[in-house]
Amino acid sequence: MKYLTIIPARGGSKGLPNKNIKLVNGKPLICWSIEHSVNCHLIDRTIVSTDSEEIAAISRNSGAEVPSLRPENLAEDQTPTEPVLLHVLSELRQKEGYEPDAVVLLQPTSPLRKKGRLHEAINYFEQTHADSLVSVSPNHHFFWKNLHSPEALYNYEKRPRRQDIKESDRWFQENGSIYITKKEILYSVRNRLGGKIAAFLMDEQESIEIDSELDCKIVEFLIRELKYEN
């Protein structure tokens, strides 16, 4: 199969200004995802979708393609990711006649992926004969909802030890790191997930998303301590 990686990176960010190009361990944040894709030999092309000339220049220097800047109507605060993916596919088809078999979505705010992780995800995607894939991480089972009238989502009268929870009863959190979608699914349901969905398990430390200065410090610490490399 022919896999196209798309990395969406808007120029604007209210919570953490210039987030996508903020230096993380001496490297612009987006470069961690670009390099992870470029270094995976199963990926045919790596494209960054951005409305920023600065992000485009940094992305090209890191080995990604930026065929054109994203139009303003697809670079607003509330713009979903799927129209951005479809825009890239449409541009490539119209201008180059290029059609991938599947789209890999890597979000730059999730920079911690162990070396070879994308290769593993693609292999799992193919082995499970899935139509789409979402990366997940294990999460604690003891959830509550509704602060004003607390309701436990587990039996607190028979609180189990975490290690005794059966795998079939475990909860997993979508970590936003890796998505894979067959082109036909993306076109038909206009969603990154559809058809037969595979869940690809990643470590908890790989699942930190950068939205604040504190997140940056945690990620930099983990990169140094765990010696992350692409």
Residue 150 belongs to some domain of the structure = no
- Longest distance between any two alpha carbons in the chain, whole Å: 62
Q: What's the pLDDT score for residue 1?
A: 95
Q: Domain range spanning residue 175?
A: 3-140+171-226
Angle at the Cα of 159 from the Cα atoms of 158 and 161, rounded to 5 degrees = 130
* Nearest by Cα to 178 from 211, 120, 135, 214: 135
Pairing of strands 132-139, 197-201: parallel
Name residue 8's amino acid.
P
CATH assignment of the domain containing 221? 3.90.550.10
Q: What's the pLDDT score for residue 230?
A: 75
Residue 145 belongs to some domain of the structure = no
Q: What's the pLDDT score for residue 113?
A: 96
Q: Which residue stretches of the chain have pLDDT < 70?
A: none
Q: What's the pLDDT score for residue 62?
A: 97
- Report CA-CA distances (Å) from 171 to 12, 35, 61, 136, 142: 33, 31, 40, 10, 9
Q: What's the pLDDT score for residue 156?
A: 81
Give CA–CA dist 198/136, Å, rounded: 10
Residue 71 belongs to some domain of the structure = yes
Q: What's the pLDDT score for residue 152?
A: 87
Residue 162 belongs to some domain of the structure = no
Q: Which letter does DSSP use for residue 135 in this model?
A: E
**pTM as predicted:** 0.93
Other Cβ atoms less than 10 A from the Cβ of 19: the count is 23
Angle at the Cα of 133 from the Cα atoms of 73 and 179, rounded to 5 degrees = 35
Q: What's the pLDDT score for residue 220?
A: 94
Residue 195 belongs to some domain of the structure = yes
Orientation angle between helical segments 29-38 and 117-127, nearest 10 degrees: 50
Give CA–CA dist 196/212, Å, rounded: 34
* Nearest by Cα to 132 from 188, 91, 92, 172: 188
Give CA–CA dist 19/83, Å, rounded: 21
Q: What's the pLDDT score for residue 157?
A: 86
pLDDT tens for each residue of 114-151: 999 999 999 999 999 999 999 999 887 788 899 999 99
Q: What's the pLDDT score for residue 215?
A: 94
Residue 155 belongs to some domain of the structure = no
For the chain, the domain total comes to 1
Q: What's the pLDDT score for residue 216?
A: 93
Residue 151 belongs to some domain of the structure = no
Residue 157 belongs to some domain of the structure = no
Other Cβ atoms less than 10 A from the Cβ of 178: the count is 27
